[in-house]
Structure 1
C-alpha cells in the first residue's frame, strides 16, 4: 500500500515540473512603412481616422440604417454565433486541465442458472446488487498536450472575435457604398428626366416651326428620336435603383421591399472630403481585423504542433473511485459496503511513432500555410490602402474636369437653342448640344458617385472609425 502511495506521488511531482513540448509562439513583426506611397500631402492628414465616418456624409437615414445593420444583419449574426461557439469550445478545453468528476449508481437483479449454482435453491440463485459512487479522471499534463490544446483554442477564439470586427467592416462598408450608389443613380435619373423635359420643349418648338412652314419633317423626326433615346435611359436607371433598395433592405436584415418607402425619395450626393484623416502608416496594419485574425490563426496552428508532438510521449492518467456496494438497499451506506479505487494509467504510442510523426508533419504544414496566409493578408492590406488612396485622388481630379465640362455644355445648349430660334444654325446643332449636355451631366453624376464610393473604399481599407461591437 505504501509503495502504491509513493507511485501516486511520482506523477504529481512530475506535473509540477512539467513542460510543454512544441514550439513557443512568437508573433511575426509587422512592417512599419514610413509612409504610404499614394498618400498625397494635399489629400490626407496624419490625424486619427474619423470615428463613424458615415456620419460626415450628413445622412440621418444612413446612420439609422447602419445601426439597424449592426443589430440585424445576418452575416454579422453568423459571425457572432461562430464567436460564441469558439468561446464555448475554449471553456470546454480549459475543463481538460482539471479532473473530470462524475457520479454513478446502479441497481441490478440477476438469477443464475441451476448449472451455474447446482447446489443452490431457486431463491438462492437470485442475487441483487446496488452501488453508488463518485469517479474522477485526470490527465496529468506532463508534456503540455492539454495546455497546447487550450492555447490553440484560445487563439481561435481571439481570431473569431477579429472575424466579427472584420465582418462589421465588410457589412457597413457595403451598406454605405450601396447607399451612395443609390443617391448617385437617383441623380442620374434626375438628369435624364430634366434633359427629357428640355428635349420635349425642343420637339414642341420644332413642331411649331413645322406647322408655321419654317421647319422640316427631318428636324421633327430627329428631335423625337433624341427624346425617345433619353427616355429609354429612365427604366434602366429605375431598375438599378430598385435593386439597390432591395440590397440595402437585406443588409439590414429585412425583406427586400421593406425600405422602399424610406429610400425612394431622392437625396443629394454627399459632399466630398477635401482632406482625409488616415492616421499614421504604422497604425494601419494594427487596425486591420483581418490581419489580427490571420495572426491569431497562425498562433493556433503553432500551438497545434505541440499537441501533435505530445503524442510522442507517454500520456498519464490518474483515476479514482469512491463509492459503496451492497446486496440490499438497507446496507448500501453501511461501513462495510465502502469501495474505493485509485489507479495510475499510462498510454504510450511509441510503437506507432510513424503515425504520430505524420500528424506532426501535417501540423507543421498547417503552420506554414497560416504563416503564408498571414503575410499575404498584410501585403493585401497595404495594397488595398494604396489603391484606395490612388482611386480617390484620381476620382477627385476627374470630377473637377467634369464639373467644368457640364457647365460649358449647359451654356452651349442654351446658346444653341437661342441661335436656332433666330435662324443662325440648323436643328442638328441643337440636337448635338443637347446630347452633349446629357452626357456631361450624366458623367458628372457618375463621377461624383465614383468619388464618394472611392472615399468609402478608402475608409474600408484603412479599417478605422469602425465601432467595436463584438
Structure 2
C-alpha cells in the first residue's frame, strides 16, 4: 500500500497546505484516467438483442380484439380478474393481495433491499461524530516529580468529520447496484402478487366448476332414482326383466359415487383457497354458497406484441434489473484498482475544568487528507473482478433465458385458449344432440316400446356430457388465467 498524507493543524498551515493541493491535483489526474477506461455495460446490449430476436407476433392471434391496435389502445391488463365478472373472484383476490403470506414475505424483501440501498447511498456522504470525554487521574508521591501527589483533570469535547471522496465512482457504482436490486425486488413483489392472484382466480374457477358439476351430479342422482323406481314397478308388474331393475340400481349407485367424489374435490379446493386467503374452508364454503355463480364470458384481450413482454412481465423486469445490478458491481470492482482519497477533520475544546473550555487556548483542530493506492495485493482485486464479470455473464444469460421462456409461455397460452374454444363448441353441440336422443329414449321406454337399457345408456351419456361440458368450461377459463398471467397482467402494489 502506497499512501500520501497531508496534515494541517492550527499553528502549522504552510507546507501541509501545499501538500494538500498537490494531493488533490494528483487524484484529479487519476480520475480522468479512470473515466477513460470505465467498463461498458452489457445490459443495454442484452436488452437490444432480446428485442431484435423477439418474434414479431404470436403464433395464434385469433383471441386478440382486431379492432384494437397496440399503438392506439394498449391493453394494460390492470385488475384482469374483473373480466370474469364474478364478484366472489374480485373479493377473494383483493383479500389475498392484502393477507397472503407470500406477498408479505416479498414485501419484507423489498423493504430490506430499500434499506441496503439507503446504506449504500450513505457510504458516499460524510460521517460526523461528536465525542465528549471527562477524566481524572491522581499520581502518587513517588511518581510525581515534585515529590507530592497530583490530581489531573481533563475535559474534552470534539466533533470529527470523515469523508471518502468518491473520485472514481466506486461507491457510486455500488449505490447504483443497490438501487437496481430495489427495482428487482419490486418486480419480484409484483411477480408474487401475479402468481397469488392467478392461483386465487384459478382455484375459485375450480370451485365454481365443481359447484356446477355437483348440480349435474345431483340431477343425475334424481333421474337415476326415478328410473330405478320405474324399473322396479315395471319388473314387479311383469312388464320388464329383473335385469332392468338391477341395471337401474347400479347406475344410481354409480352417480351417487360421482357426487361423493366431487364433494371430496371441493374440500381440497377450499383447503387450497384457505391457504391463499388465510381463511378457514368452512368460511369459504359459506361464502361460495352465498355468492351466485356467473355464466362463462366470451373473454378477449387487446392486441399485445411479443416485444411488449419485456416491459410487462415481472420476471423479465426482475432479470433485467439484476443484470444491470451485476453491471454496476463490475464497475464498482473495477474502480477499486484506483487510489482512494479520504478527508478527516477534527475540531474541539480541551481543558482541565469546565471554565477552561471557554478560554483562548482550549480550541484544538486537525485537518488531514490521505491518498492510498493498492499496487499489489496478491491477486485479490483481479479475482474480485473475475468473479464480478462471471456474475454479470450469468445475469445476462439468465435474462435471455427468462425472455425466451416468457415468449414461449405466452404463445402456448394463446394457442391453448384457441384450442379450448374449439373443444367447448364441440362438446356443446354433442350435448345438444344427446339431450334430443335422451328425450326420445325416455318416451319410448315409458310407452313400453323399448327396454330400460337404451334409456339407461342415453341418460348416462347425457350426464357424462353435462359433466364434461362443465370441465371444458373450466379448462377454457383456466387457460384465460394463464394468458393473463403470461402476458404480465397484475395489479401493481
| TM-score normalised to structure 1 length | 0.91
SS at structure 2 position matched to 1:165 = helix
For residue 321 of structure 1, the aligned residue among 339, 343, 346 is: 346
Instruction: Give the corresponding residue for 2:114.
Output: 87
> How far apart, in 1, do the equivalents of 2:412 and 2:38 lie?
40
Q: Residues 64, 291 of structure 1: CA spacing in aligned structure 2 closer, same or farther, 3 A cutoff?
A: same
Number of equivalent positions:
466
> How far apart, in 1, do the equivalents of 2:64 and 2:188 lie?
34
Instruction: Give the corresponding residue for 1:104.
Output: 131
> How far apart, in 1, do the equivalents of 2:67 and 2:271 lie?
36
Deviation at 1:197, TM superposition (A): 0.8
Deviation at 1:266, TM superposition (A): 6.6
> How far apart, in 1, do the equivalents of 2:176 and 2:456 lie?
73
Contact 1:324 1:338 in 2 (8 A): yes
After superposition, give the CA deviation of every residue in 1:202-221 in whole Å (9 maximum; x if it has no partner): 00111111221223332222
Instruction: Give the corresponding residue for 2:428.
Output: 403
Q: Residues 326, 100 of structure 1: CA spacing in aligned structure 2 closer, same or farther, 3 A cutoff?
A: same
Structure 1, unaligned stretches of length 5 or more?
Answer: none
Deviation at 1:136, TM superposition (A): 1.0
> How far apart, in 1, do the equivalents of 2:398 and 2:391 lie?
10
Instruction: Give the corresponding residue for 2:9.
Output: none
1:467 aligns with 2:483: no
> How far apart, in 2, do the equivalents of 1:127 and 1:362 lie?
56
For residue 369 of structure 2, the aligned residue among 334, 339, 344 is: 344
> How far apart, in 2, do the equivalents of 1:94 and 1:387 lie?
43
* Larger deviation, residues 101-110 vs 391-400: 101-110
> How far apart, in 1, do the equivalents of 2:378 and 2:410 lie?
48
* Larger deviation, residues 409-418 vs 335-344: 409-418
Contact 1:209 1:215 in 2 (8 A): yes
Contact 2:86 2:294 in 1 (8 A): no
Deviation at 1:149, TM superposition (A): 0.5
> How far apart, in 2, do the equivalents of 1:163 and 1:120 lie?
75
Deviation at 1:226, TM superposition (A): 1.4
After superposition, give the CA deviation of every residue in 1:56-90 in whole Å (9 maximum; x if it has no partner): 22212222222223332222222222222222222
After superposition, give the CA deviation of every residue in 1:36-57 in whole Å (9 maximum; x if it has no partner): 1122377766542254332222
SS at structure 1 position matched to 2:361 = helix
For residue 58 of structure 2, the aligned residue among 18, 23, 36 is: 36
> How far apart, in 1, do the equivalents of 2:407 and 2:332 lie?
34
Deviation at 1:467, TM superposition (A): 3.0
> How far apart, in 1, do the equivalents of 2:98 and 2:147 lie?
75
Q: Residues 344, 195 of structure 1: CA spacing in aligned structure 2 closer, same or farther, 3 A cutoff?
A: same
Q: Residues 425, 407 of structure 1: CA spacing in aligned structure 2 closer, same or farther, 3 A cutoff?
A: same
> How far apart, in 2, do the equivalents of 1:7 and 1:264 lie?
84
For residue 236 of structure 1, the aligned residue among 253, 261, 280 is: 261
> How far apart, in 1, do the equivalents of 2:143 and 2:454 lie?
118
> How far apart, in 2, do the equivalents of 1:99 and 1:214 lie?
103
For residue 231 of structure 2, the aligned residue among 203, 206, 210 is: 206
> How far apart, in 2, do the equivalents of 1:44 and 1:170 lie?
28
Instruction: Give the corresponding residue for 2:250.
Output: 225
After superposition, give the CA deviation of every residue in 1:354-395 in whole Å (9 maximum; x if it has no partner): 111111111111101110111011001100110101110001
1:158 aligns with 2:174: no
1:23 aligns with 2:67: no
SS at structure 1 position matched to 2:491 = coil
Contact 2:27 2:339 in 1 (8 A): no
> How far apart, in 2, do the equivalents of 1:54 and 1:161 lie?
21
Contact 2:157 2:350 in 1 (8 A): yes
Instruction: Give the corresponding residue for 2:19.
Output: 7
SS at structure 2 position matched to 1:342 = strand
Once the two structures are superposed, the pairs formed by residues 178-189 of structure 1 within 5 Å of their partners are 178-189=203-214
> How far apart, in 2, do the equivalents of 1:158 and 1:183 lie?
37
Contact 1:269 1:448 in 2 (8 A): no
Q: Residues 116, 414 of structure 1: CA spacing in aligned structure 2 closer, same or farther, 3 A cutoff?
A: farther
Q: Residues 278, 174 of structure 1: CA spacing in aligned structure 2 closer, same or farther, 3 A cutoff?
A: farther
> How far apart, in 1, do the equivalents of 2:65 and 2:20 lie?
71
How well do the aligned residues superpose, as a CA RMSD in angstroms?
Answer: 2.4
> How far apart, in 2, do the equivalents of 1:315 and 1:175 lie?
54
> How far apart, in 2, do the equivalents of 1:343 and 1:410 lie?
95
> How far apart, in 2, do the equivalents of 1:113 and 1:218 lie?
122
Deviation at 1:442, TM superposition (A): 1.0
For residue 357 of structure 2, the aligned residue among 332, 345, 361 is: 332
After superposition, give the CA deviation of every residue in 1:316-350 in whole Å (9 maximum; x if it has no partner): 21111111222223323432122212122344433
For residue 69 of structure 1, the aligned residue among 96, 109, 118 is: 96
| TM-score normalised to structure 2 length | 0.87
Structure 2, unaligned stretches of length 5 or more?
Answer: 1-12
For residue 250 of structure 1, the aligned residue among 275, 300, 311 is: 275
Contact 1:291 1:377 in 2 (8 A): yes
